[in-house]
Structure 1
């Protein structure tokens, strides 16, 4: 089928229709940058042909070279047959106006936290210049650390991950954005070995519960297992963050954590904690905010 397409097709429109048909026929899952077959097909084609990613119509009837058709079709075939997320095929993932290098050493960036940085954190952080030290736990590709550096120009940032592979990818993105002097990559497990205190701590830790991990679509199985699951209820990493965060926050410091679909479980486990649930493009149940002062409501044994 793909060899026949290479012979018969001539335009971008031909390839777009073919890709959408094949993606739908294969029952692909879209959750790594797009949410439907058309948008993913358009992105894959435009990226491969080195065309602007936000402009499709002027190129639909452009006649392609044979080599261009073969290159695009090879990626369409790979996406269908391997179920590898498109971001791993293009080595590119977008968050807002930022694009990042990614490969299978890191999860594809999709945290809602990036939407909340900067002005969205007022009044908890009244002025962006007040963030002098910031921490990104479970940094993965480094995408949130890079965006924190942009939103908080006075901040020096520590970016932590347990995976050396992930830190290698993060180093690529830190260098691409010329932030080596402001972002310090650290290989450790959450807060272990850290000595500084911070005005802002963000984390998109593993949060998929055991039952959901077993039911993940094939696309997610290409992502690092370490970055997905976190115990039977998905909250092992979050519990550790809540237990220790206050010690690493400066007065009036802010903790921002993403927990997926675990809001009800988390609130039941910590009924005394006054979580503020932040509004994101996905809703208000995915990212919580706590201040240092709210976290210090725990007792001397580190329990609530």
Structure 2
């Protein structure tokens, strides 16, 4: 009989690539991981690992086992979810990965709701961008992740992930409240302005650059940062223009001018959980509290920005 925990170690090795990374993630020593995988080889009766330089790689037979391991681990998570659902209280630890705008606008209110309704549930929050967050979800580093999808940049379909839509969030051109940059009425009007953008490798940064090019110009990116609070500060102080999502103003005073972009584009916000754990009471409770926090804090963008007129 194959040992489930050893199958999980083999699956983690496929995901993380090295024995050292598996050991670091699961708080084992590399030698202990090697011993457990050697025992799995004995149980399976086939060779599972091959030496490559100083590392190892999985054999074809090992990859056969990892495909089955995914199904076995998902079934076990379903059993754990059913067991937890049979109890009267939501308890345990829930690990969540989120990007910045949701952390700023919704997570505090979500935690307040959860503390009131489920005081024995411990929630741990990490700030991560979508790609590493979903990798961590599948590696069991996180239980729920927040994702975003920009127009024309669809997120890949991830096997083993249950997605649930959260919101549609409009994005707009953000201008300083005063000064020469504040009078723009359309995207083309800021062709020569200094910009603050996400890195070009990040989906928001890639999307905005493409949007500017479709308007006939290459943005003059003076500031390159993932920190949206820095974006806001640079716009507020007149040093740059940016494209910012409406959700930023849910819990923050708006001191910038907002102008609608052509076609009123929006990003899709969603949550992801492993398919086997999507029905776990802790996951359901977090998703419910997050939706309620969004409904309570939904930003009201002033009508003055609808046509690009100064506010």
After TM superposition, the score normalised by the length of structure 1 is: 0.31
Q: Higher relative contact order by CA 8 Å / sep ≥ 6: 1 or 2?
A: 2
